[in-house]
Amino acid sequence: MDFPLLDLLDEGACYDFLVDALHPAGLRCPSCGGRRYLVHRAHREPVLDYRCGCGRVFNAWTGTAFQGTQRSPAALVVIVRGIAQGTPTAQLARELGVRVGQLRTWRLEFEKEAVTGIAKPDRSAAEDLEQLRRENAKLKMEIEISKKAAIYFAREAK
């Protein structure tokens, strides 16, 4: 049977998870590095476009592997999980309806950015804490997915 993972995921939670993973120190303006930005457009909620005091308009994907993507946060989380879990690119592409070339590009980007929480050398205590926080968030998400899956299966069994 097909597992409708995308339908089981909450878009807001997925967005938060990705923002955390991509910007562990918090989202900053990619031009000036500042944090004094306001919501510019919310037409693709929960993905918000921000406008910084310096004039730059950006969102959480700007400057990351996901820049310009139209995919929903839930779809992106499933892709990230697949990559993190080492699912073969061709299989993941089939399961998610994503082009293999696009997935390869993302995989390489992630390996560069270590967005999946792979340890970097010379870690500070702050980084360790961030890592823990990320792992905790990831774990919470896994639990959430498992809960939803359990509910799904409970319904299915009737």
**Interface residues toward Zn ion, by CB under 5 A:** 29, 31-32, 34, 52, 54, 56
63/117 with CB nearer Zn ion: 63
DSSP-derived secondary structure letter, 52: E
Do residues 68 and 62 touch, judged by C-beta distance below 8 A?
Answer: no
| Smallest separation, CB 32 to Zn ion (Å) | 3
What is the enclosing helix (H) or strand (E) of 152? helix 125-157
Instruction: Name the minimum Å distance from CB 40 to Zn ion.
Output: 12
Nearer Cβ to Zn ion (13/60): 60
Tokens of 41: 């457009």
Smallest distance from Zn ion to CB 50, Å: 9
CA distance 16 to 60: 10
Given the complex with Zn ion, which of 55 and 86 has the nearer CB atom? Answer: 55
